[in-house]
Structure 1
Amino acid sequence: MAMSEGSSPGVTLPEAPASAGEGAVGDAGAAALAAGTGGRAKRTRVKAIMEATDDPLLGKTVAVKGWVRTKRDQKAFSFVEINDGSCMKGVQVVIPQDVPTYSAVERLTTGASVSVTGVVVESPGKGQRFEVKAQEVHVVGECPTEYPLQKKRHTLEFLRGIAHLRPRTNTIAAVARVRSALAQATHDFFREEGFLYLQSPIITASDCEGAGEMFRVTTLPSEVSKVPTLEDGSTDYSQDFFGKPAFLTVSGQLSGETHACALGDVYTFGPTFRAENSQTTRHLAEFWMIEPEMSFADLRDDMDNAEAFVKHVVSHAMEVCGSDLEFFNKFYDKELLQRLQRIKDKPFVRTEHERWLAETRYDTAVFVYDYPRDIKAFYMRDNEDGKTVAAMDLLVPGVGELIGGSQREERLEQLEAKMVEFNLSPEDYWWYNDLRRYGSVPHAGYGLGFERLVCYVTGVENIRDAIAFPRSPGSAEF
């Protein structure tokens, strides 16, 4: 069950005291800026201090730069927790009163940015091995009392309205780190498997899915009366920028196939767009897709690669984002780590479509394959029974479809017949058909919605929290 942002340790932010007056930035701020530019190479990330497995930094002077999470004042010291986004935890900085800028420190508020130089020492307190004893503290940027992230519970829905600030919360910061790790693991996996990375176009004239739910790209006048038309009253796109109808891509698959049929194995990883008027927690108008294409491959090869990929990226996230996943396991999905371990260790179940309909649901990843041809896309290869296609979906608990893939139809005659059946013009896809006309080979591929993968690995329920700036019907802020 998802929790409200702000109800976990380190997420509930304390009320900010009155804003600092003169002297809080001034010369100290200028010095901090100088230290933060020319001295950037010497900056020590909080993660290097808080997640060190040994003590190489003990007794060393470090420069820590980040944002204030909490501050406690005592008689001769102030204790300030600083977080720089590199990990879940913040580092405790002990600031003695004899620090020259202590008057500015006393007025520090939650959200202020600071630059601290000090020595790493063993911490006598609970919860951390090390802390920093400050020698110099500079306030880089003050944070006034109207800072939205105050000491109260903030729902994820509220945070979507301040998407520019929500990365400062534990949940969204952790999502961002996991997302980054998954992206890095994606490139690592395909490189190790011998795939080439292809940057497919965002503007296209092709509808890969044949659904017609595409965003149009045009420079024609916005005033209807000035739009050029043909004799039948339809829009004259010959006068548009590209000379024909153009759209934001719904998939990089067709471009991927062109290169797979020349270079062997390729993958694309980029933004895609669907003009679906859907307000569900699983759909976005703009989302990222991972789409590999493999030559000389069939549906079994497709499923083998997809399973290996998911296991690889999940393993990588568990290895490098341990504290973030523990946070999600504690506050969002108490079975998360157990579920991810199952995905990592156990073979995926594979079942034919009809058996899937007849059997109970599994509690692990399941490949469902050989779907009825009438409900799948035109480019999927017909099976010998004439009723099904060589298509598969990977279904995972809590998310549903994570991957959709198929063996592509490599036979020209069958492909052109299906285009007509799907009300597509073979002439518009002449270049796609050329792949079958000149040295055609069996090939297969799949698409994985990256935000759904992020949701699955983190346990976050709403896909709008798995991307920095979600785009959905009626929402294109920031």
Structure 2
Amino acid sequence: MAPSATIEATLPASYAQKTIFFSGTKLHLKPEVKEIPQENGGKEELPKAIKLNNRFAVSAMKAVPKLWKNPSSFAMNALQSPWYTTMFGLQSTLFHSSIDFFRHDLGYKYLVVPVTTSSISSPMGLGSDSQPVSLELAGLQTYLADSQQFVLEYALRLEDGLPGSYYVGTSCRGEDPDSTHLNQFCHVECELLGGLADGVAVANRYVVAMTQAMLREHKTKIEVYAGTTSHLTQLLDLYRKHNNSFPMVTLEEVLAMPEITDDMWQYAVEGEPRWGRSLTRKGERMLIEKFGGACWLTEMDHLSVPFYQAYTDGTKRKGQCADFLLGLGEVIGCGNRHVSAEQALEALEHHEVDPAEYKWYTDMRQLKELNTTGWGIGTERFLCWVMQHDDVRDIQLLPRLKGVACAP
């Protein structure tokens, strides 16, 4: 290429006055967009780039701005960013497709929920996988809901024979944010009648339905940033090849694999083997690659998961639960619940959790015993996989990171 060659590409309008030089090549940045028709007959805005075969123009288009690092200027810059326009579209599609899936395909009922709770689903006891967010509200000590699982279990008992209940909204956690964790994230959760296999089957169908929706509505935009949509079609192929399921492997099977290294697993409580083991992100990603893009990890050590997961058998060593691994790691947590009040009380004692705070939970089982299973998916992690991106903090349209003020 001659040193005077000019490349034009589109970036946010905030970059319009900037000129960038690459090895003597001048790159003009222009805030223009172009409407390109989609396969479904609709139209999708796509950043316009002239001479896309030039690697500098392509790189400029695909750049993901780390706007959350500068919260004081986040909103004004996000309003001019094609990345955040794309995220807005993907999140809207995922929300509406989720409602369609649960309501029309499965006949589940939606539960409108409060933002506070007195019974967090990740209590500060053995197996807790997150920190609760407590606050004082009108003189009452309470928590921001970290999950709506418990009230979804309640909802199933409001109507005899209801196949399932679901919710889409925000969950709050207290741990420090990083590339795979958010303090406030969008949570799609459901609770359904049946065992773990039933819950896994519904979760599989959900993942497939959302993947198909992304391909149908946003194929062109995904290709701009991810460079491909082959990971989406490969996931659908993996599902079909496994008889409308995904590969499954137990924790014990994983820990016996020759590929496992010391940095792929850890003790749930550091230095305390008796409290069980879990995989690290590196271990999860090894499994994702080994099984062709996704898999279920099942039968975790019970003391490494919350008390409400049912036991696999009378030894009380293993939990009737499963994590779906995709992209960055775990994106779905699924588990079968204790049926009786006695089983739940035994598990609370086993995990050293005060049963007084969960009296209503055990009383509910005393009144109505049901075999139910539930799961939840963090949508930012799922969309990270869709975009082949490596940081969930770039997915949020409205960042809410621990200790950081960000408007609006």
Deviation at 1:423, TM superposition (A): 3.2
Q: Which residue of 2 aligns with 1:287?
A: 185
Q: 1:215 Cα shift? A: 1.9
Give me the whole-angstrom Cα distance separating, in 1, the residues matched to 2:199 and 2:295.
Answer: 14
Q: Which amino acid aligns with 2:293?
A: T
- Residue type at the aligned position of 1:188: D
1:356 aligns with 2:254: yes
- TM-score, normalised to structure 1, is 0.63
2:145 maps to 1:249: yes
Superposed, which structure 2 residues align to 1:330-349 within 5 Å? 330=227, 336-347=228-239, 348-349=246-247
> 1:214 is matched with which residue: 117, 132, 137?
132
TM-score under structure 2 length normalisation? 0.73
Matched, 1:456 2:385: yes
Deviations 1:400-421 (CA, angstroms, capped at 9, x unpaired)? 0010110001121121122133
Q: Which amino acid aligns with 1:273?
A: C
What is the CA deviation profile of residues 308-329 of structure 1, one whole-angstrom value per residue up to 9, with x for unaligned ones? 1000001001101121111122
* Matched ranges for 1:216-235 at <5 A: 216-219=134-137
1:258 is displaced (CA, Å) by 0.4
1:122-201 equivalences under 5 Å are 156-158=65-67, 160-161=69-70, 162-164=73-75, 165-191=77-103, 192-201=105-114
Distance 1:153 1:290 in 2: 28
What does 1:76-475 align with in structure 2 at a 5 Å threshold? 87-89=45-47, 156-158=65-67, 160-161=69-70, 162-164=73-75, 165-191=77-103, 192-211=105-124, 213-219=131-137, 241-242=139-140, 245-263=141-159, 264=162, 265-276=164-175, 278-295=176-193, 297-330=194-227, 336-347=228-239, 348-359=246-257, 360=259, 361=287, 362=290, 363-384=292-313, 385-396=315-326, 398-475=327-404
* CA gap 1:249/1:53 in 2 versus in 1, 3 angstroms: closer
CA 1:251 to 1:284, structure 2 compared with 1: closer, same or farther past 3 Å? same
- Measured after TM superposition, the shift of residue 266 of structure 1 is 0.3
How many Å separate the matches in 2 of 1:55 and 1:367? Answer: 36
Change over 3 Å in CA distance of 1:8–1:203 after alignment to 2? farther
Deviations 1:17-62 (A, max 9, x none): 9xxxxxxxxxxxxxxxxxxxxxxxxxxxx98x63177999xxxxxx
Partner-residue secondary structure (3-state), 1:300: helix
What are the ranges of 5 or more consecutive residues in structure 1 without an aligned counterpart? 1-6, 18-45, 57-84, 92-124, 128-150, 220-239, 331-335
Partners of 2:63 and 2:331 lie apart in 1 by: 29
Runs of 4+ off more than 6 Å: 52-56, 151-155
Q: Structure 1's 338 and 357: CA in aligned 2 closer, same or farther, altered over 3 A?
A: farther
Contact 1:201 1:252 (8 Å CA) reproduced: no
How far apart, in 2, do the equivalents of 1:462 and 1:52 lie? Answer: 28
SS at match of 1:346: helix
Aligned-partner SS, 2:189: strand
> How far does the alpha carbon of each residue in 1:79-128 deviate from its partner, in whole angstroms, 9 at most, with x for none?
xxxxxx9622469xxxxxxxxxxxxxxxxxxxxxxxxxxxxxxxxx999x
Native 8 Å contact 1:328 1:458 kept in 2: yes
Structure 1 residue 430 displacement after superposition: 2.1
C-alpha distance in 1, partners of 2:328/2:121? 24
CA contact (8 A) 1:368 1:392 kept: yes
| Superposed displacement of residue 197, structure 1 | 1.0
**Higher alpha-carbon Rg:** 1
Give the whole-Å Cα distance in 2 for the aligned partners of 1:86 and 1:10.
15
SS at match of 2:339: coil
Q: Which has the higher helix share?
A: 2
User: Is the contact between residue 332 and residue 375 of structure 2 (CA under 8 Å) also seen in structure 1?
Assistant: yes
Shift of 1:174: 1.4
Matched residue, 1:63: none
Residue number in structure 2 paired with 1:11: 11
Cα distance change on mapping 1:447 and 1:159 into 2, 3 Å: closer
2:249–2:297 CA contact under 8 A, matched in 1: yes
Rounded to whole Å, the distance in 2 between the matches of 1:471 and 1:428 is 28
- The residue number in structure 2 matching 1:26 is none
The share of aligned pairs that are identical, in percent, is 22
Q: 2:4: which partner in 1?
A: none
Aligned to 2:284: none
- Paired with 2:196 and 2:61, the residues of 1 have a C-alpha distance of 51
**Size of the alignment, in residue pairs?**
329
- Runs of at least 5 residues in structure 2 that lack an aligned partner in the other structure: 1-6, 19-32, 53-59, 125-129, 240-245, 260-286
- Is the contact made by 2:38 and 2:44 (CA closer than 8 Å) also made in structure 1? no
- Deviations 1:328-373, CA, capped at 9 Å, x for gaps: 222xxxxx51111111232211111211223353232101111111
The one-letter code of the counterpart of 2:131 is E
Distance 1:207 1:411 in 2: 20
Greater relative contact order (CA < 8 Å, ≥ 6 in sequence): 2
CA–CA distance in structure 2, aligned partners of residues 153 and 450 of structure 1: 21
Aligned mates of 1:453, 1:52 — CA distance in 2: 23
Q: Which amino acid is 1:326 matched to?
A: E
